[in-house]
Structure 1
Amino acid sequence: MSFRLLKTLFILVILGFASCREEDGSFVFNGFRSANLSLDGFASVVPDGLLLVTNASYQAKGHAFHPQPFKFKSDTTPGSTLSFSTTFVFAIIPKYSYVSGHGLVFVVSHTTNFSTALPSQFLGLFNFNDNANASNHVLGIELDTIANPEFQDINNNHVGIDVNSLQSANSTSAGYYDDSTGAFRNLILASSVPMQIWVDYDGQDMQLSVTMAPVPIAKPKKPLLSSTIDLSSVMSDSMYVGFSSANGPLFTTHCLLGWSFKMNGIAEPLDYAKLPPLPRLDSKHKSQKLAIWLPLTSCALALLVVATVVLVVKRRNKYAELLEDWEKEYGPHRFSYKELFRATKGFNDKTLLGSGGFGKVYQGVLPSSNVEVAVKRVSHESRQGMKEFVAEIVSIGQLRHRNVVQLLGYCRRKGELLLVYDYMPNGSLDGFLYDETRPALSWAQRFRIIKGVASGLLYLHQDWEQIVVHRDIKASNVLLDRELNGRLGDFGLARLYDHGTVAHTTHIMGTMGYLAPELAKTGKATTKTDVFAFGAFLLEVACGRRPVEPSAEEPQVLLLDWVRENWKRGTLLATGDPRLAGDIFPVEEMESVLKLGLLCSHPSSDARPTMRQVMHFLDGDSAMPDIPPAYTSIDILSLIRRDAFDDYMMPSSSSVSHLFELSGGR
């Protein structure tokens, strides 16, 4: 064996020893080319040593853990947790600048099996059922780029300390404190820039601190977060350390460049010079050299060129779009017509999901990502107000809630607008309520759908950065995902119709039976008119009956009046859907839903609860108030007729189904 080979082997042995010394509870990876890690999901190590916890994939999750657990419990002091320290360099690289999927989490866990965890807002750690369970035994330091109201996130760019739950025990905006001035410097997590995190836990003082800074700034003296946390109940004797991350509908790469860890000591500093480079995810503009030789003596070649030009022109016309300069800023939210044409197989009737006053809806699969979508084609002949409308669509596209259907983007073509949504495989709720060929939904399923819609509506009214008024809440606008969870959908068109770009519209937005009485006088939709419609929706789901039955006898034309009359007679439960006859469920739940429906649909807007109060009632956190006695003397149908709604009393609700309207700030 040559001296050079022996020398090389010796260096490799020394490097291997320096990078991972498990016997003293420490390791350091300056790049992950030869790192021994346990990977699952979309996690991988690329050839240059960069660790991708998730790549730019749709609804992806990934995990990367050190394969051996470490001892986190003290032998000398039973029950107490040992100290530990870690530092790592990460980067979050969105496909489109600053529009990111979800985040990255440093994790200390008693297990590396997260097979039941969900991506998106659950960051690959938990699901709807086990989030916040004490049996999780998980400590996380989250770097979160989406504000999820269900976890009470403070914003869409924060660092948080998570204990068994994605509702952080402590969190703050991402950034660092300048050592020289003490000033806070904001950092954008999803900026494609490498940043470093230091996590230190003092087991004796039970003090956990998190510090961050952009590479290569040294560790700031003042930590970003500092909390006193007793981890004795969280930590098992042996725990794994690693990372978890997840994407939603926005393609994002979460990567690590280096990682150091140590039990009962300070983690060894990383060597920036040895860290791998970040990937270049920009589209590569390659110059193309086109040489055209047109021999004037060759008629055949000339004809070929002409034929080619004709074909190109025809092809361009086939996929021609309407694109103006002001739309360039909305690039990430704009789909090409060619992509949508291919996704829907040329808008083939075989992909048609349904049609209505707004146009036709098609099922499709985006060829670039294999993501299932629903594409709605809406006619529009006028360009009046289109810039404001598209801006509103892009704004609505930022909504992120598990009970709101995601609006992914749009495309404009001559005479039509195309809106792209997440695809909901089980269609709309009214199909299950009124289609006798489908199995009836159980009460448990209906109650879960009701709570989901209420949660989504609360998000729109109070928990998003703007107030969103959904002007047509009804069963046909509630879509069901694969698990039959209810999601508010079919939105984004109200502004278009407000600008008069579709013929035969009226100034009253919504569908008869769900319209609050005050709309006839003011014509203005508010959160209170939404609550009225939600009340009608509650009665519709519980009773299995449409809010308006024009062919029914006078006392039963309006579902609201019929339920109210039964409530006065003490026969409220008799209004329940007959298809629930064989179902066993807590009748008090149905009774509460029916009473809540009456309360939300009170003719006086001031008497209606807010959606936050509604959620408290549905969750059992607050007792249902008594329905005002004066309500018993009001005939809603007569009130509607008096206020000139007669013109809209039509079967199938011929008033145009306007859906969402953004108001300004709260």
Structure 2
Amino acid sequence: MGSSLRTLFFLTILFRTHFSLAEDENQFIYNGFNGSNFHVDGVAKIHPNGLLQLTNSSKIKMGHAFYKVPISFNSSSSALIPFPSFSTNIVFAIVPEDPNLSGHGMAFTISPSMDFNQAVESQYLGLFNISNNGLSTNHVLAIELDTIENTEFEDIDDNHVGIDVNSLKSFESAPATYFSDEQGKNISLKLLSGDPMQLWIDYDAPQKILNVTVAPKRSQKPNRPLLSTPIDLSQVLLDTMYLGFSAATGSVASDHYVLGWSFNKSGPAQSLELSKLPPLPPRRKRSQKPSKIVIVAPVVAIFVLVVVIGAVYFIRRKKYEEVREEWESEYGPQRFSYKNLYIATNGFKEKELLGAGGFGKVYRGTLPNSDVHIAVKRISHDSRQGMKEFVAEIASMRRLRHRNLVQLLGYCRRKGELLLVYDYMPNGSLDKSLFNNKTPNLSWFHRFRVLRDVASALLYLHEGWEQVVLHRDVKSSNVLLDADFNGRLGDFGLARLYDHGTNLQTTHVVGTVGYLAPELTKTGKATTRTDVFAFGAFMLEVACGKKPIFQGQYEEVILVEWVMECWKGGRILDASDPKLESDYVTEEMELVLKLGMLCSHSVSAMRPNMRQVTQYLDGSASLPEIEADISVSMSTFTTSNEASETAMSFPASVGNCSAHFLSSNESILHKGR
């Protein structure tokens, strides 16, 4: 009898446990996330006080937090078990590093998997990548809280809420506002305010309507939703799905938080207990404004004081005086005050100097009242890169967003000075790592990754954006290395934009000798294939540790022809950088050298496009068999003003390979910027 009772008791406990889990699968509430049944990855973490943090001040990172128990939506079942209505209530906060700059945003996500290893940060919010964005096989629903306008996804602005179905191009979106029942109108919300806000998501399955509503934390749920969209989610979601959050940072970071979350699969979600929600970390203190000084003095003293103050104000105003013109309203991405840039760089002191060239000087800086590190490109008055190039750089970079592009954060103009503000790259330009003996030798692992990074950036410029962007100056000095030695393509001063399918126009021949395709000097037309040619020269430069035109034992040697001679002699690996000391993957080195030669083909039609190049480098496609007879031409290195299209070439010796060189007495080379 006792044994039977114990068995009955055990079964009762088992039944109750199973029933509790079933209830938990259909409904839960978290007023803080201590003890939560969550899977977190990336930079996401749960604080001891229960605050869920998705991202931190780290740049180009993503974080995910998902409820571990899959939710059954039965989307493919019969009408006997209809697709459920569901409701969720979330309290979130987005805290930027700087009031005027932000990371990319966050999203409530319903996904068939918690594995986002293939996802990309920045504009993809840690959900998709360039190859799977938009695929119906994703089966992902996301409600994005987006704080950056990405035109490639047709974002409406930099402060919006969007319904995303399998893509970051929103199914429907609207600027962040809420309806005030008291005032009877919509009131704007700034997602980047750093203040906690509420988000409600309600799906009416019988009516097939998805409602999304936002409001300040202390507000009641508005009667009118921000978005009310007809959509049949049974065609999107699978039988079982995971619920959670994703967030990402880019060149600038934001802290993305979730304070509380409730969900119900069969009715309205429970209201969160706001008083029980964990607090946000203290905000960074702002410098206090100087207190007002009230001086009671004779009239003469007051007059003298006013004159002195006026003189000081006039001097300071002239010191920080800026220039504004009409075109800036169209092209300006984010205008910085000269005063803030002056303070950030310690008055453009020499100790903050990162580099100098024909374009001017670049300074390191930290924006006032923040930890945002920047690089300020201060273009000199007599620079060859004048106003036209300055405007081109702003027009090109203001909306381009890719993890392997140096992000243009903003600009400023003061009198004759032109200043561009970029994300700071702590490891400097690639050419310094390749050719400066003071820095440690860059390993093959990092070099090969940089090549893949730059190839990915060029593919985005050529095919992945709303327009075709021709960089026109791909070279090692224009590739910068971030803190993790990832490659970022920068310097868009010579870039040109075209609509897809447009016939390209003749233009002036610009760029750096050694990277200029031969047809460019003949036709004056830059194309995606001329960028490919420059990338080919860049690949050889990285693999060989030599400039496209380098100094041999006696004369200047052309790198592409030297590598060709090594290849023809069956010793192509002899062209590899001696500083690597053969510490490289042989297959990768041979691939890079041969692909670099193929991209350097004198006939543009024979060159691969950047999509093919990325496939070869990623190993998703095999490089076709190539004979060592690729046509290379000395006309590559002539200028458009040269009457002859071919220069004389002579045999020379560099290492174990024969080479060709240009006579130093008859050289018609222009040195690059």
Matched, 1:376 2:377: yes
Contact preservation (8 Å) 1:550, 1:651: no
In 2 relative to 1, CA 465–221 (structure 1 residues): closer, same or farther, beyond 3 Å?
A: closer
* Cα deviations by residue, 1:401-460 (Å, 9 ceiling, x for unpaired): 111110111100111101111111111111121122332222222111111110011111
Residue identity in the other structure for 1:37 = F
Q: Measure, in 2, the Cα distance between the counterparts of 1:438 and 1:486.
A: 17
Residue identity in the other structure for 1:104 = M
| 1:224-243 → structure 2 map (5 Å cutoff) | 225-227=233-235, 229-230=237-238, 242-243=244-245
In the alignment, what sits opposite 1:579?
579
In the alignment, what sits opposite 1:36?
32
In 2 relative to 1, CA 382–124 (structure 1 residues): closer, same or farther, beyond 3 Å?
A: closer
Residue identity in the other structure for 1:36 = G
In the alignment, what sits opposite 1:472?
473
Contact preservation (8 Å) 1:516, 1:532: yes
Contact preservation (8 Å) 1:53, 1:62: no
| 1:405-484 → structure 2 map (5 Å cutoff) | 405-484=406-485
In the alignment, what sits opposite 1:367?
368
Q: Measure, in 1, the Cα distance between the counterparts of 2:308 and 2:149.
A: 55
* Cα deviations by residue, 1:67-126 (Å, 9 ceiling, x for unpaired): x9657589xxxxx9x978333468998989999742322257999999999963464689
TM-score, length-scaled by structure 1: 0.68
Residue identity in the other structure for 1:608 = R
In 2 relative to 1, CA 359–304 (structure 1 residues): closer, same or farther, beyond 3 Å?
A: same
In the alignment, what sits opposite 1:566?
566
In the alignment, what sits opposite 1:105?
107
Contact preservation (8 Å) 1:561, 1:636: no
Matched, 1:339 2:340: yes
In 2 relative to 1, CA 553–427 (structure 1 residues): closer, same or farther, beyond 3 Å?
A: same
Q: Measure, in 2, the Cα distance between the counterparts of 1:56 and 1:432.
A: 29
Q: Measure, in 1, the Cα distance between the counterparts of 2:168 and 2:126.
A: 20
Contact preservation (8 Å) 1:195, 1:212: no
Give secondary structure in 1 for the equivalent of 2:376: strand
| 1:65-104 → structure 2 map (5 Å cutoff) | 72=71, 85-88=86-89, 101-104=103-106
Residue identity in the other structure for 2:624 = P
Deviation larger for 518-527 or 631-640: 631-640
In the alignment, what sits opposite 1:48?
none
In 2 relative to 1, CA 653–309 (structure 1 residues): closer, same or farther, beyond 3 Å?
A: farther
Contact preservation (8 Å) 1:198, 1:212: yes
For residue 169 of structure 1, report the CA deviation from its aligned partner: 7.6
In the alignment, what sits opposite 2:282?
none
In 2 relative to 1, CA 644–536 (structure 1 residues): closer, same or farther, beyond 3 Å?
A: same
In the alignment, what sits opposite 2:231?
223
Number of matched residues? 560
* Cα deviations by residue, 1:280-338 (Å, 9 ceiling, x for unpaired): xxx9xx9x999999955x2x443333222222111111111112355356676111111
Residue identity in the other structure for 2:600 = S
In 2 relative to 1, CA 631–143 (structure 1 residues): closer, same or farther, beyond 3 Å?
A: same
Contact preservation (8 Å) 2:321, 2:414: yes
In 2 relative to 1, CA 650–290 (structure 1 residues): closer, same or farther, beyond 3 Å?
A: farther
Contact preservation (8 Å) 1:531, 1:611: yes
Give secondary structure in 1 for the equivalent of 2:467: coil
Q: Measure, in 2, the Cα distance between the counterparts of 1:472 and 1:102.
A: 28
Q: Measure, in 2, the Cα distance between the counterparts of 1:456 and 1:324.
A: 32
In 2 relative to 1, CA 86–565 (structure 1 residues): closer, same or farther, beyond 3 Å?
A: same
Residue identity in the other structure for 2:454 = V
Give secondary structure in 2 for the equivalent of 1:557: strand
In 2 relative to 1, CA 459–580 (structure 1 residues): closer, same or farther, beyond 3 Å?
A: same
In 2 relative to 1, CA 335–519 (structure 1 residues): closer, same or farther, beyond 3 Å?
A: same
In the alignment, what sits opposite 2:500?
none
Residue identity in the other structure for 1:245 = A
Contact preservation (8 Å) 1:599, 1:609: yes
In the alignment, what sits opposite 1:488?
489
In the alignment, what sits opposite 1:8?
none
Residue identity in the other structure for 2:537 = A
Question: Which sections of structure 1, spanning at least 5 residues, go unmatched?
Answer: 1-20, 46-50, 75-79, 133-137, 162-167, 177-187, 203-208, 236-240, 277-282, 496-505, 658-666
Residue identity in the other structure for 2:523 = T
For residue 172 of structure 1, report the CA deviation from its aligned partner: 4.8
Residue identity in the other structure for 2:613 = V
Q: Measure, in 2, the Cα distance between the counterparts of 1:94 and 1:466.
A: 32
In 2 relative to 1, CA 523–350 (structure 1 residues): closer, same or farther, beyond 3 Å?
A: same
Q: Measure, in 2, the Cα distance between the counterparts of 1:552 and 1:507.
A: 34
Question: Which sections of structure 2, spanning at least 5 residues, go unmatched?
Answer: 1-19, 74-80, 134-138, 157-161, 175-187, 214-221, 278-285, 497-506, 648-661
For residue 535 of structure 1, report the CA deviation from its aligned partner: 0.5
* Cα deviations by residue, 1:257-297 (Å, 9 ceiling, x for unpaired): 9854125x2344869x99x9xxxxxx9xx9x999999955x
Matched, 1:542 2:543: yes
Residue identity in the other structure for 2:335 = R
In 2 relative to 1, CA 465–291 (structure 1 residues): closer, same or farther, beyond 3 Å?
A: farther
Q: Measure, in 1, the Cα distance between the counterparts of 2:318 and 2:563.
A: 56
For residue 195 of structure 1, report the CA deviation from its aligned partner: 6.7
In 2 relative to 1, CA 611–385 (structure 1 residues): closer, same or farther, beyond 3 Å?
A: same
Q: Measure, in 2, the Cα distance between the counterparts of 1:650 and 1:53.
A: 64
In the alignment, what sits opposite 1:173?
171
In the alignment, what sits opposite 2:312?
311
Q: Measure, in 1, the Cα distance between the counterparts of 2:669 and 2:543.
A: 21
For residue 466 of structure 1, report the CA deviation from its aligned partner: 1.6
Contact preservation (8 Å) 2:393, 2:494: no
Contact preservation (8 Å) 1:27, 1:260: yes
Q: Measure, in 1, the Cα distance between the counterparts of 2:70 and 2:209.
A: 21
Contact preservation (8 Å) 2:55, 2:247: no
In 2 relative to 1, CA 486–106 (structure 1 residues): closer, same or farther, beyond 3 Å?
A: same
Q: Measure, in 2, the Cα distance between the counterparts of 1:370 and 1:322.
A: 27
Q: Measure, in 2, the Cα distance between the counterparts of 1:224 and 1:191.
A: 28
Q: Measure, in 2, the Cα distance between the counterparts of 1:461 and 1:117.
A: 21
For residue 519 of structure 1, report the CA deviation from its aligned partner: 2.2
In 2 relative to 1, CA 468–196 (structure 1 residues): closer, same or farther, beyond 3 Å?
A: same
In the alignment, what sits opposite 1:9?
none
Q: Percent identity?
A: 45
| 1:567-646 → structure 2 map (5 Å cutoff) | 567-585=567-585, 587-627=586-626, 631-632=630-631, 634=633, 642-643=644-645
In the alignment, what sits opposite 2:250?
248
